[in-house]
Amino acid sequence: MFESLPGFRDFYPDDCARRNYLFRVWSQTALRAGFLEYDIPTLEPLELLTTKSGPEIVSQLFNFTDKGGREVALRPELTPSLARMVGTHANALKRPIKWFNIAENFRYEKPQKGRTRSHYQFNCDIFGESGPGADAELMATCIESLRALGLGEGEFILRLSDRGLWMEYLALLGISDDRALAVLGVVDKLERLEREEAIALLKATLGEAAADFLGQVETLIGLRNLDELNAFFTQSVFDGKDREPLQKRLEAFGELIARLEALDVASYVRIDFGIVRGLAYYTGFVFEVFELSSRGTTGRALAGGGRYDHLVGKLGYPELPAVGFGMGDVTMMDLLMKKKRIPALAQNPDIYAVFGDDEPMHVAMRDVARLRRIGLNVQYSLKSLGFGKQFKLAGQSGATLALIYGSDEIASGLVRVKDPRSGKEATILSGGLEGQIQEILAEGIHFPEEGVSH
């Protein structure tokens, strides 16, 4: 007796139907927004992943030495592979490069609720466009994918921040480079820390100024609109300092908000500088999407992303601006199931063929093949059974129609059509069967008690 490995999932047909529904909505949303689908190898050089995320990521990977002596790993995410692909052919690709993918990723982590060792992720990315238009397009696509899944206002929120503005703010305070990243690492954890814990962590970088700095940060995190942000950054503490870079970031923020309003998604967006995204490669606007409870409090994260303008260059290719997001299937499916937002996913056949032995069977098989070739789901018993048992199977299958082939019908060039639910039936000519069946399925024809429908 065997079981699946810890953190890996089996998808039985009903599970697979729900998963495929999710993938279908994701794909349709991306395609409508002009994204093109791509794919990448499951196995990648280990160095590609450590170059992007640092050597500490190795503990989270399924990595090994292959038979050619190469250090490789199952992909934990798509972004480094995507950056490699785009960087390799950047000069030949039409800008902006708008690509999407839905792929399985692997991480060697402790399995827990909402986190597995294998999960599928929906990724959308835009390369070659540095302005806020790309950020707005990407955030709107993320929001629209959730709306297409039946989620509305009050059920999720996109919390928006700006790493660029954070860095300019810290630079005005004399905090830059590694010190700035260390401070942002603490800010990223503030929601999970007691205030005294946060001050203790900030003291490692800021010394005795940690408490005063945290007070300023708490004020900044509480701001919710551009007017409040502008007022915050005109404080006297910044007098005499070069505010031009910071002002440019505020102007870009204003353009982003205006575009989100024009795309009719601004009501799903909340400015929130408590979001900084822990990964050091983010360079500009960043965001995370969270489930909202009925009380308006945030629940689990559903998606996240932001601008990462230096990753392609970091991998050894020419610099190329980029912005992207990822959305995982595990938490998304948990939410949809909890809210009962998965529609009925009928996998019932359109047609169930019922037939006798010998000639009726051969005629029926020929018609089964014809109907399948025009896209209909047609089933029949693989065993030789009597008509009564076949009718029972037809009813259990949930088929819309049953086609009945008996010796009398075959001799007359007819096929009997029956509605398994109502029991009403009629006969139709076997010639031109495909068109007649499509008409019945499309128009919901009412069967007469007897006679021939042409």
Q: Among positive and negative, which fits the CA dihedral 266, 301, 28, 320? A: positive
Q: Is 275 a domain residue?
A: yes
Mean pLDDT of the chain: 93
Q: Is 323 a domain residue?
A: yes
CATH number for the domain spanning 433: value is 3.40.50.800
d(CA 327, CA 121): 5
pLDDT at position 241 is 83
Residue 451 has pLDDT above 50, yes or no: no
pLDDT at position 304 is 97
Judge if 309 and 392 occupy the same domain: no
Judge if 264 and 405 occupy the same domain: no
Residue 452 has pLDDT above 50, yes or no: no
pLDDT in tens, 138-158: 999 999 999 999 999 999 999
d(CA 12, CA 93): 40
pLDDT in tens, 205-233: 999 999 999 999 999 999 999 999 999 98
Ramachandran category for residue 106: left, alpha or beta (phi over 0 → left; psi -120 to 50 → alpha): beta
Judge if 413 and 316 occupy the same domain: no
Question: Is the Cβ–Cβ distance between 353 and 368 less than 8 Å?
Answer: yes
Q: Is 343 a domain residue?
A: no
| Beta bridge pairs of residue 288 | 159, 304
Per DSSP, the residues of 106-149 read E-----BTTB-SEEEEEEEEEES--SHHHHHHHHHHHHHHHHHT
pLDDT bin (cut points 50, 70, 90) of residue 270 is very high
Residue 309 has pLDDT above 90, yes or no: yes
Side chain identity at residue 14, one-letter code: D
DSSP letter (8 states) at residue 277: -
Residue 192 has pLDDT above 50, yes or no: yes
Per the structure, how many domains does the chain have?
2
| Beta bridge pairs of residue 307 | 323
Q: Is 345 a domain residue?
A: no
pLDDT bin (cut points 50, 70, 90) of residue 449 is very low
Tokens coding 27: 């794909």
Judge if 319 and 391 occupy the same domain: no
Judge if 187 and 312 occupy the same domain: yes
Residue 314 has pLDDT above 90, yes or no: yes
In this predicted structure, which of 288-302, 402-416, 439-453 has the lowest mean pLDDT? Answer: 439-453
Judge if 71 and 164 occupy the same domain: yes
Mean pLDDT over 387-415 rounds to: 93
Q: Is 420 a domain residue?
A: yes
Judge if 249 and 357 occupy the same domain: no
SS (H, E, C) 132-143: HHHHHHHHHHHH
pLDDT bin (cut points 50, 70, 90) of residue 424 is confident
CATH number for the domain spanning 204: value is 3.30.930.10
Tokens coding 134: 């790309």
Q: Domain boundary at 292, 311, 338, which? A: 338
Residue 20 has pLDDT above 70, yes or no: yes
Mean pLDDT over 27-56 rounds to: 96
Q: Domain boundary at 338, 363, 389, which? A: 338
pLDDT at position 450 is 44
d(CA 347, CA 349): 7
d(CA 336, CA 311): 33
Q: Domain boundary at 338, 366, 395, which? A: 338
Residue 278 has pLDDT above 80, yes or no: no
Judge if 72 and 124 occupy the same domain: yes
- pTM comes to 0.91
Q: Is 346 a domain residue?
A: no
Residue 19 has pLDDT above 90, yes or no: yes
Mean pLDDT over 105-115 rounds to: 89
pLDDT bin (cut points 50, 70, 90) of residue 236 is low
pLDDT at position 444 is 64
Residue with the bigger pLDDT between 447 and 336: it is 336
Judge if 290 and 435 occupy the same domain: no
Which residues 6+ apart lie within 8 Å of 265 measured at CB?
A: 139, 140, 143, 144
Q: Is 6 a domain residue?
A: no
DSSP letter (8 states) at residue 322: E
In this predicted structure, which of 110-114, 138-142, 254-258, 312-316 has the lowest mean pLDDT? Answer: 110-114
SS (H, E, C) 1-40: CCCCCCCCCCCCHHHHHHHHHHHHHHHHHHHHCCCEECCC
d(CA 90, CA 156): 36
Among residues 431, 430, 424, 415, the alpha carbon closest in space to that of 445 is found at 424
Mean pLDDT over 91-110 rounds to: 96
Q: Is 8 a domain residue?
A: no
pLDDT at position 417 is 94
Residue 47 is part of which domain span? 13-338
Residue 358 has pLDDT above 90, yes or no: no
pLDDT bin (cut points 50, 70, 90) of residue 446 is low
Judge if 57 and 102 occupy the same domain: yes
Residue 268 has pLDDT above 70, yes or no: yes
Judge if 169 and 289 occupy the same domain: yes
Ramachandran category for residue 191: left, alpha or beta (phi over 0 → left; psi -120 to 50 → alpha): alpha
pLDDT bin (cut points 50, 70, 90) of residue 50 is very high
Judge if 370 and 447 occupy the same domain: yes
